[in-house]
Structure 1
Amino acid sequence: MVSPGLHFLLQRLAPIATVALVYSSVHGYYFSEMPSWRAPLILLPAWMFLRWASAEIKERRAAAANGASLFPAVSEGRLPAGLSVLSKLLDSTTNGYMCDVFQEWSEKYGYTYSICTLGERRVYTCEPDYIKAVLATQFDSFDKGPGLRGSLSSLLGNGVFAADGETWKFHRTMARPFFSNDRVSHFDIFHAAFEDLVSKVVARVDEGYPIDMQDAASKFTLDSGTAFLFGHNVGSLASELPYPERALRPRAEHPVDAYTSSFLEAQRLTALRSRIGWLWPVKEIRSDAVKAHADVVRRYIEPVVDQAVRSHTEKEKHVNAPPSSLKQAEEDETLLDYLVKFTTDRQVLLDQIVNMLIASRDTTANLITFAVYLLAEHPEVRARLRREIHEQVGDRRPTFEDIRGMRFLRAVLNETLRLYPAVPLNSKTAKTPVIWRSLDGEKSYYIPAHVKVLYSVFWLHRRKDLWGDDAHRFDPDRFIDDRVKRLTKNPWMFLPFNGGPRICLGQQFAYNEASFFIIRLLQKFSDIKLNMAAAPTDSLRPDSWFKNPRAGDGTERVNPSFHLTMYSKGGMWVDLVEADD
């Protein structure tokens, strides 16, 4: 298979050949005194610069023709072609606080601006009205775009989160019936996974060691998610819970560990592609960096998909019913059982299941992880939530009706999602030129076709002008008291599950799963304390962040980071005390 880098270069043979032709024509006349290898190194960058400059002029003329202007462009350093901007962006991604360079530039250019690097223009925004335009009111003018689809394809294939157009509609239509309230409120799978987990947690607590709650939540959501999606629990909870580094205890390897580690690395490398921009394939000139890890993930679920296809084929042979009736969702079916009614294409099924696994595992694990962190850091909130659990549920297993009536629990989860949204940075690409009016209505801004629009839910959720001067502070009551009127007036300022036609189908599943986990956890354990001494030393929050006004109010102790979704670098280590009430 051709590597992404080689494919990238082959697509650009024409301009390279043009440069070579120009070079051969003028070499003897202009470059006779220059070594033959050096002239192309001058001509190729010169050609690229002229191409980028020409595109810039065309964009400005098109904007003017529409009575508009381009969004202001970030200016940094002295390196040409936006290399200084790109360098600062990558450094912020690696060393900064949740890409806080976006917030730094917002303070200088406003909440919407252009980022121009290596001839590629991108627009960044955390304005609710503009995000609403991208996701809803101008939905047909934006899609994932070929650039983003290409960077996601090694892991997500042509699944629902990477697809556009009719392919996206097909995937979404297939999945929608399985996220109705009557299905996502079946708590048996949550109960089974939690019982597997809590026995291991109690044993580890009895040994005197802290628990990495991020690892625990990821295993819980993976096992319950796979049971929900295709009726087969992958058994990640059969593997050993990790010990802290200082314990010097070797961890027993389990076959599922290769799957989970490859899942994480594939997401990290996929996210890196998007951050580099359109030139990412050059970094993968020899091979596809993501594919090897994605193949491990797919090999783990291929037998399940193959079995579902065989079962469906056999059922079709023996069932005498109209084809339309066979495509109706049945009570005891899994999502995979339902999907094979529409297609037995192995690749289509694998793509969809991998996409759904990322959604069902990582997004809810993120919510649980950071909810536990915030409850550990805010004992008064934890005590209040335990009182609500005691009054409405007691010590029994919660039901869907219980959770619906737990107002403070929902507020805790919403406030967690506000501060730590599962997908902190996302993007869409303009399919055609788009015009946006300025918020005061006095100007118009032009977004050329094929320009990627980045939007940050993370920084949107922390805007003080929207959420108040305490926007960095954890306060679940903002979703209960009079402050909730801000959200009622401007619902696009809170987007933990995206919005518009592509809003997350599994949001109620995520709320139910996280609610079930938190209730059972607080029924079993009365005290939770963050244990930063157990975290790997190279994952600790840099001292400089405590002085960074963009990194909160100086009280945050963990190190949030993100690939495709958010996570806590080094895990989320806590000490637990069993309840005696």
Structure 2
Amino acid sequence: MSVLFVIVQCGTLFFVVKQLLHYISAKWKVAEGTKGGCEPAHVFPRKDPLGIINAIAHGRARDQCRWPNHLFEILDTGGKNIHTVWERPLGNDFLLTRDPDIFKAVLATQAEAFVLGEGRSQNFMDLFGPGVFTSEGKAWQHSRALVRPQFARQQVSDLTRLEDHLQQLWQRIPICNDRWTDVVDLQPLFLDLTIDVITELVLGYSVNSQDPSLRSSLPGVNAPDSAKFARNIDAGASWITRRAVFGKWYWLFQSRAFNRSCKEIHDYVDWFVQMELSGKMSSQAKQTESARPHFVLLEELSKITQDPLELRNETLNLIPAGRNTTASLLGWAFYFLSRNPSTYGRLREEVLNDVGASGVDDSTKLLSCQYLQWCLKETLRLCPGAPAIIRKATETVILPRGGGKDGNSPVFLPKNSLVLLCIHALHHREDMWGHDVEDFKPERWRERPFAWDFLPFSAGPRKCLGQQLGMTEASYVVARFAQRYDKIQNVEAPGPIKYLTHMSMRSGTGVQVRLHQDENFVVSR
């Protein structure tokens, strides 16, 4: 017992000394930052010398579904015109910013000087393994070269596959005699829809979370339990997001439940990989009534590499990203449309005119429906899937803005410092978007060109690979809803938006609505 007590005491002393040295070092770095024409950025004050209270405040804000608001509060301590602030919770020094010039420097013009950092790459590695979502340097370049060509294929946007899963979703929303549905929370339905779509695209077979009766359709013997897969993805993502708040100290937070979820996820994907490599997947599929879709990412990747671990990691890197971001976009779209009935009415009119009254036989019609695209862009502006992204400087960097009293001077960024690019705050700058910045107003996109003030899919070399896939899927689902339902009604009580940060940002209160079916709509199945 005494030995354990001594170990704890020594560990605590080491941690305190290390944090004090870090505090002194941070002060020195600020002084160094005044050289070469740079000016220090505003510093958000610590509540204690080690920044423990600051770190707890980040975690509490996440648990209260207000983390984006917390970042706003930190930025606003320097004044409404200050858009870059140093924050130092628990030794995790990061420059928090909503300045588009810094976004451009970090993601594009000076991107070679930045990496993901431990809080993203290593924290996510337990669940995903090394792949396009988690790797750095040459390993990431290899992963991107392996995966990127697959997303350029037309087969990725298979509307037939989308329609099959959408029909399953609609079967879960019964219509009453007055053509209104009961109150329904669309958010979990969209999460089920998107994981069914992405697993079919990536693995060749859907987990069929919407229709459990189809889960036994996996070919071969000893087929894994698909029912656990989505639950494990959610559980693993929740734990990763929770400990990400603590940055480089993420590894202190371990969980047996998390480890079990990771193992079961890996075992599930490994089964598909082994079936593919052995040739059993394609041969068994021919013997079943339901053949595999025309395009399967795992099948295409297996033509390039036969490494089972690499195949597991690359496919697994894409499944949560392909599911959560699209589900987030769909959820927020109907969250805002249900609160803006006139906007939904115009959207429906435009869809009927540009796409037609039933079905979508060509994805180009979705892209040409201008108002539909405006609605999705406005949704992504108000609630981007990722409220913030983080990067770590691998060398000393001078950023173009953010320093001085007015925030217009260059900023000295020491090696190993972090930059937290707050996309949500960038999208809510009143000086860029106008006095109605908080309003859902698709018309603002009428003549707005691309600029660095709108980055829902990031930018630069690590820009989201699945942007086209996600936008096509979301466009299709929104258009089909507009064809079927002529009215949508919000049933949630008024109140501030709650932001659930869970891999992607979604509504903390769900999307509680009622839908009214058009009397002329013909249910095809």
Bin for the TM-score computed over the shorter chain: 0.7 to 0.9
Q: What is the deviation of 1:530? A: 2.1
| CA contact 2:324–2:503 (8 Å) conserved in 1 | no
Question: CA 1:64/1:379 → structure 2, altered by over 3 Å: closer, same or farther?
Answer: closer
**Corresponding position of 1:397:** 359
Q: Distance in 1 between matches of 2:174 and 2:442?
A: 29
Q: Tell me by how many angstroms 1:65 deviates.
A: 5.0
- Give yes or no for the alignment of 1:102 onto 2:71: yes
8 Å CA contact 2:46–2:88 kept in 1: the answer is no
| Deviations, residues 100-134 of structure 1 (Å, cap 9, x unaligned) | 22211212222111111333311111111101111
Q: Quick one: structure 1 residues 556 and 409, their matched pair in 2 at CA, closer, same or farther if it must change by over 3 Å?
A: farther
Contact 2:102–2:401 (8 Å) recurs in 1: no
Do the aligned partners of residues 312 and 388 (structure 1) sit closer, same or farther apart at CA in structure 2, a change above 3 Å counting?
A: same
Question: Is the CA contact 1:181–1:508 (under 8 Å) kept in the aligned structure 2?
Answer: no
Q: What's 1:577 paired with?
A: 516
Number of equivalent positions: 490
CA distance in 2, matches of 1:332, 1:42: 58
Decide whether aligned partners of structure 1 residues 80 and 203 sit closer, same or farther in structure 2, where only a CA change above 3 A counts. same
How has the CA–CA distance of structure 1 residues 387 and 38 changed in structure 2, closer, same or farther, with 3 Å as cutoff?
Answer: closer
Match of 2:203 in 1: 230
Query: Which is worse superposed, 192-201 or 213-222?
Result: 192-201
Superposition TM-score, scaled by structure 2 size: 0.86
SS in 1 for 2:191: helix
* Greater gyration radius: 1
- Give yes or no for the alignment of 1:278 onto 2:248: yes
Q: Distance in 1 between matches of 2:102 and 2:8?
A: 47
Return the letter of the residue paired with 2:428. R
1:259-278 pair list within 5 angstroms: 259-278=229-248
2:103 and 2:517 map into 1 onto residues whose CA distance is 44
Specify every segment of 5 or more residues in structure 2 that has no aligned partner in the other structure, as ranges: 214-223, 284-292, 521-525
Cα RMSD after superposing both structures:
2.9
Is residue 364 of structure 1 aligned with residue 326 of structure 2?
Answer: yes
Query: Deviations 1:11-62 (Å, cap 9, x if unpaired)?
Result: xxxxxxxxx9xxxxxxxxxxxxxx9899748853553245324533552464
Instruction: Give runs of aligned pairs for residues 421-436 of structure 1, distance below 5 A.
Output: 421-436=384-399
Aligned-partner Cα distance in 2 for 1:57–1:208: 60
User: CA shift at 1:256, angstroms?
Assistant: 4.2
How far 1:257 sits from its partner (Å)? 4.2
The more displaced of 374-383 and 98-107 is 98-107
What residue is the counterpart of 2:456 in the other structure?
496
2-structure distance, mates of 1:494, 1:166: 29
CA offset digits 1:169-223 (Å, max 9, x no partner): 1111111222226233331111111122222323689896322211111121111
Q: Is the 8 A contact 2:457 2:464 kept in 1?
A: yes
1:435 alignment partner, SS class:
strand
Q: Which amino acid aligns with 1:276?
A: F
Letter of the 1:474 counterpart:
F
- Equivalent positions of 1:441-520 (< 5 A) are 443-480=409-446, 482=447, 484=448, 487-488=449-450, 491-520=451-480
Which residue of 1 is the match for residue 279 of structure 2?
311
One-letter identity of the residue aligned with 2:365: D
1:427 alignment partner AA: I
| Distance in 2 of aligned mates of 1:453 and 1:270 | 19
Counterparts of 2:136 and 2:257, CA distance in 1: 24
Indicate the residue corresponding to 1:348 in structure 2. Answer: 310
Quote the residue 1:413 is aligned against.
Answer: 376
TM norm structure 1: 0.78
How far apart in 2 are the matches of 1:348 and 1:135? 27
Structure 1 residues 378-401: Cα deviation after superposition (integer angstroms, max 9, x where no partner) = 111111111112212323321212
Q: Give 2:466's aligned amino acid.
A: G
Matches within 5 A, 1:48-447: 48-56=18-26, 58-60=28-30, 62-64=32-34, 66-77=36-47, 79-95=48-64, 97-109=66-78, 110-180=82-152, 182-202=154-174, 209-239=182-212, 256-284=226-254, 287=255, 290-311=258-279, 332-398=294-360, 399-438=362-401, 443-447=409-413
Letter in 1 for 2:85: Y
Distance 1:348 1:360 in 2: 18
Query: What do residues 287-311 of structure 1 show as CA deviations (whole Å, max 9, x unaligned)?
Result: 5663222223233322212111212
* Matched-pair identity in %: 26
Change beyond 3 A, Cα 1:272–1:313: closer
| Aligned with 1:523 (options 483, 491, 494) | 483
Aligned in 2, Cα 1:96/1:73: closer, same or farther, shift over 3 Å? farther
Q: Residue 238 and residue 101 in structure 1: after superposition, are their counterparts in 2 closer, same or farther (change >3 A)? A: same
Q: Which has the higher contact order (CA 8 A, sep 6+)?
A: 2
SS across alignment from 1:566:
strand
Task: Confirm or deny: 8 A CA contact 1:204 1:210 kept in the other structure.
Answer: no
Which letter maps to 1:334? V
Q: State whether residues 154 and 290 of structure 1, in contact with CA within 8 Å, keep that contact through their aligned partners in structure 2.
A: no
Secondary structure at the aligned position of 1:453 is classed as strand
Deviates more, 1:99-108 or 1:202-211: 202-211
Distance in 2, matches of 1:59 and 1:289, equals 40
SS across alignment from 1:494: coil
**Per-residue displacement from partner, 1:41-96 (whole Å, max 9, x unpaired)?**
8853553245324533552464355453443321043x221223223222222226
For 1:472 and 1:76, the matched residues in 2 are separated by 30
**Where is the helix percentage greater, Structure 1 or Structure 2?**
1
